[in-house]
Amino acid sequence: MADTLEKLKERFGDDVLLTHSFRGDDTALVRREQLLEVARFLRDELSFEMLTDETAVDLLHMAPDETFFPAGDRFEYVAHFYSLSRNLRVRIKARCPENDPRLPSLYSLFKTANFMEREIYDMYGIAFDGHPDMRRILLYDEFEGYPLRKDYPYDKEQPLIPMRTRRGEPQS
Protein backbone atom coordinates (compact mmCIF):
# COMPACT_ATOMS: atom_id res chain seq x y z
CA MET A 1 0.00 0.00 0.00
CA ALA A 2 2.80 2.40 0.88
CA ASP A 3 3.94 1.70 -2.65
CA THR A 4 2.43 5.01 -3.81
CA LEU A 5 4.45 6.96 -1.27
CA GLU A 6 7.66 5.13 -2.21
CA LYS A 7 7.15 6.00 -5.85
CA LEU A 8 6.44 9.62 -4.98
CA LYS A 9 9.62 9.87 -2.89
CA GLU A 10 11.62 8.18 -5.62
CA ARG A 11 10.33 10.63 -8.22
CA PHE A 12 10.29 13.87 -6.21
CA GLY A 13 12.98 13.31 -3.58
CA ASP A 14 13.21 16.17 -1.09
CA ASP A 15 10.13 17.88 -2.50
CA VAL A 16 8.13 15.30 -0.56
CA LEU A 17 8.43 16.83 2.90
CA LEU A 18 6.52 14.36 5.02
CA THR A 19 4.77 11.07 4.50
CA HIS A 20 2.35 9.18 6.64
CA SER A 21 0.69 5.83 6.23
CA PHE A 22 -1.95 4.28 8.45
CA ARG A 23 -4.01 1.20 7.58
CA GLY A 24 -3.65 1.80 3.87
CA ASP A 25 -4.37 5.50 4.19
CA ASP A 26 -1.44 7.25 2.51
CA THR A 27 -0.59 10.90 3.00
CA ALA A 28 2.22 13.01 1.58
CA LEU A 29 3.08 16.65 2.24
CA VAL A 30 4.72 18.11 -0.83
CA ARG A 31 6.35 21.44 -1.65
CA ARG A 32 3.73 23.66 -3.22
CA GLU A 33 5.87 24.45 -6.26
CA GLN A 34 5.72 20.75 -7.16
CA LEU A 35 1.98 20.28 -6.53
CA LEU A 36 0.95 20.32 -10.17
CA GLU A 37 3.75 17.93 -11.16
CA VAL A 38 2.84 15.58 -8.31
CA ALA A 39 -0.78 15.54 -9.48
CA ARG A 40 0.31 14.90 -13.05
CA PHE A 41 2.57 12.04 -11.89
CA LEU A 42 -0.26 10.51 -9.85
CA ARG A 43 -2.70 10.73 -12.73
CA ASP A 44 -0.47 9.66 -15.61
CA GLU A 45 2.03 7.28 -14.01
CA LEU A 46 0.17 5.82 -11.02
CA SER A 47 -3.33 5.89 -12.60
CA PHE A 48 -5.07 8.03 -9.97
CA GLU A 49 -7.71 9.07 -12.47
CA MET A 50 -10.02 10.88 -10.08
CA LEU A 51 -9.62 13.96 -7.94
CA THR A 52 -12.14 13.25 -5.19
CA ASP A 53 -11.79 16.31 -3.03
CA GLU A 54 -9.85 19.47 -2.47
CA THR A 55 -10.06 21.43 0.74
CA ALA A 56 -7.92 23.46 3.13
CA VAL A 57 -7.07 23.88 6.81
CA ASP A 58 -6.12 27.02 8.71
CA LEU A 59 -3.26 26.10 11.05
CA LEU A 60 -3.27 29.51 12.77
CA HIS A 61 -3.31 28.24 16.33
CA MET A 62 -1.00 25.29 15.81
CA ALA A 63 2.47 25.80 17.26
CA PRO A 64 5.20 25.86 14.62
CA ASP A 65 7.13 22.64 14.84
CA GLU A 66 10.22 21.37 13.03
CA THR A 67 8.58 18.19 11.86
CA PHE A 68 4.86 18.72 11.84
CA PHE A 69 4.79 22.37 10.84
CA PRO A 70 8.11 22.92 9.12
CA ALA A 71 7.95 26.27 7.39
CA GLY A 72 5.55 28.01 9.75
CA ASP A 73 3.08 28.14 6.89
CA ARG A 74 -0.42 29.05 7.93
CA PHE A 75 -2.61 27.33 5.35
CA GLU A 76 -2.61 23.67 4.49
CA TYR A 77 -4.21 22.46 1.29
CA VAL A 78 -5.54 18.89 1.20
CA ALA A 79 -6.39 16.91 -1.92
CA HIS A 80 -7.68 13.36 -2.21
CA PHE A 81 -7.00 11.24 -5.26
CA TYR A 82 -8.65 7.95 -6.09
CA SER A 83 -7.57 5.29 -8.53
CA LEU A 84 -10.62 3.68 -10.07
CA SER A 85 -8.55 1.03 -11.82
CA ARG A 86 -6.47 0.04 -8.78
CA ASN A 87 -8.89 0.92 -5.96
CA LEU A 88 -6.31 3.05 -4.17
CA ARG A 89 -6.46 6.39 -2.46
CA VAL A 90 -3.81 8.93 -1.64
CA ARG A 91 -3.96 12.24 0.20
CA ILE A 92 -1.67 15.04 -0.94
CA LYS A 93 -1.07 18.11 1.21
CA ALA A 94 0.70 21.36 0.45
CA ARG A 95 1.21 24.50 2.52
CA CYS A 96 1.35 28.19 1.80
CA PRO A 97 2.22 31.15 4.04
CA GLU A 98 -0.18 33.86 5.20
CA ASN A 99 1.52 36.65 3.26
CA ASP A 100 1.43 34.73 -0.01
CA PRO A 101 -1.66 32.49 -0.03
CA ARG A 102 -1.25 31.06 -3.51
CA LEU A 103 -1.15 27.52 -4.88
CA PRO A 104 -1.02 26.04 -8.35
CA SER A 105 -4.42 25.07 -9.73
CA LEU A 106 -5.11 21.48 -10.72
CA TYR A 107 -7.74 22.63 -13.24
CA SER A 108 -5.49 21.83 -16.20
CA LEU A 109 -5.41 18.16 -15.10
CA PHE A 110 -8.82 17.70 -13.49
CA LYS A 111 -11.80 19.83 -14.57
CA THR A 112 -13.49 19.02 -11.26
CA ALA A 113 -10.96 21.26 -9.53
CA ASN A 114 -12.86 24.28 -10.82
CA PHE A 115 -15.57 24.54 -8.15
CA MET A 116 -13.55 23.01 -5.32
CA GLU A 117 -10.76 25.54 -5.71
CA ARG A 118 -13.28 28.35 -5.91
CA GLU A 119 -14.75 27.16 -2.63
CA ILE A 120 -11.30 27.15 -1.00
CA TYR A 121 -10.81 30.68 -2.28
CA ASP A 122 -14.22 31.66 -0.95
CA MET A 123 -13.65 30.26 2.53
CA TYR A 124 -9.89 30.68 3.07
CA GLY A 125 -8.76 33.30 0.57
CA ILE A 126 -6.21 31.01 -1.05
CA ALA A 127 -5.90 31.92 -4.74
CA PHE A 128 -5.07 29.31 -7.35
CA ASP A 129 -2.71 30.15 -10.18
CA GLY A 130 -3.92 28.87 -13.52
CA HIS A 131 -7.56 28.68 -12.46
CA PRO A 132 -9.87 29.96 -15.22
CA ASP A 133 -12.42 31.75 -13.01
CA MET A 134 -10.99 32.64 -9.61
CA ARG A 135 -13.90 34.27 -7.73
CA ARG A 136 -16.27 33.48 -4.88
CA ILE A 137 -18.67 30.59 -5.39
CA LEU A 138 -20.99 30.34 -2.37
CA LEU A 139 -20.84 33.75 -0.73
CA TYR A 140 -21.94 37.03 -2.22
CA ASP A 141 -19.45 39.47 -3.73
CA GLU A 142 -20.12 42.02 -0.96
CA PHE A 143 -18.76 39.65 1.68
CA GLU A 144 -15.53 40.90 3.22
CA GLY A 145 -12.94 38.48 4.54
CA TYR A 146 -12.85 34.70 4.56
CA PRO A 147 -15.18 33.02 7.05
CA LEU A 148 -13.35 29.74 7.66
CA ARG A 149 -10.12 31.45 8.64
CA LYS A 150 -9.54 30.98 12.34
CA ASP A 151 -9.24 34.75 12.92
CA TYR A 152 -12.68 35.45 11.44
CA PRO A 153 -15.04 36.13 14.39
CA TYR A 154 -17.37 33.13 14.59
CA ASP A 155 -20.47 35.29 15.04
CA LYS A 156 -19.69 38.08 12.58
CA GLU A 157 -22.51 38.45 10.08
CA GLN A 158 -22.55 40.62 6.98
CA PRO A 159 -26.21 41.21 6.12
CA LEU A 160 -27.12 42.31 2.61
CA ILE A 161 -30.23 44.17 3.77
CA PRO A 162 -30.82 46.17 6.98
CA MET A 163 -31.97 44.00 9.87
CA ARG A 164 -35.27 44.90 11.60
CA THR A 165 -34.06 43.97 15.08
CA ARG A 166 -30.77 43.99 16.92
CA ARG A 167 -30.74 40.22 17.26
CA GLY A 168 -27.83 38.49 15.62
CA GLU A 169 -25.30 41.20 16.26
CA PRO A 170 -21.91 40.03 17.53
CA GLN A 171 -21.60 39.73 21.28
CA SER A 172 -18.85 42.12 22.31
Partner 1 sequence: MDMMEKAADQAPRPSEPGKIQPGQGLAVTTRLDAAIGWARKYSLFNYPFVTACCGMEFMATSASHYDTDRFGAALPRFSPRQADLLMVVGTIVHKQAPILRKIYEQMAEPKWVLSFGACATSGGFYRNYSAVQGIDNIIPVDVYVPGCPPRPETVLDALLMLQEKIQRSPQKF
**Binding residues for partner 1, per CB under 8 A?**
138-140, 147, 152, 154-161, 163-165, 167-168
In the complex, what is the shortest distance from the CB of residue 80 to partner 1, in angstroms, rounded to a whole number?
A: 25
**16-22 and 75-83: which strand pairing?**
unpaired
In the complex, what is the shortest distance from the CB of residue 132 to partner 1, in angstroms, rounded to a whole number?
A: 24
Q: Which is nearer to partner 1, 73 or 122 (CB)?
A: 122
Using an 8 Å Cβ cutoff, are 49 and 110 in contact? no
Q: Which is nearer to partner 1, 129 or 169 (CB)?
A: 169
Using an 8 Å Cβ cutoff, are 7 and 46 in contact? yes
Strand pairing partners for 51? 81
In the complex, what is the shortest distance from the CB of residue 157 to partner 1, in angstroms, rounded to a whole number?
A: 6
CA 45-115-100 angle, to 5 degrees, is 80
Q: Which is nearer to partner 1, 39 or 126 (CB)?
A: 126
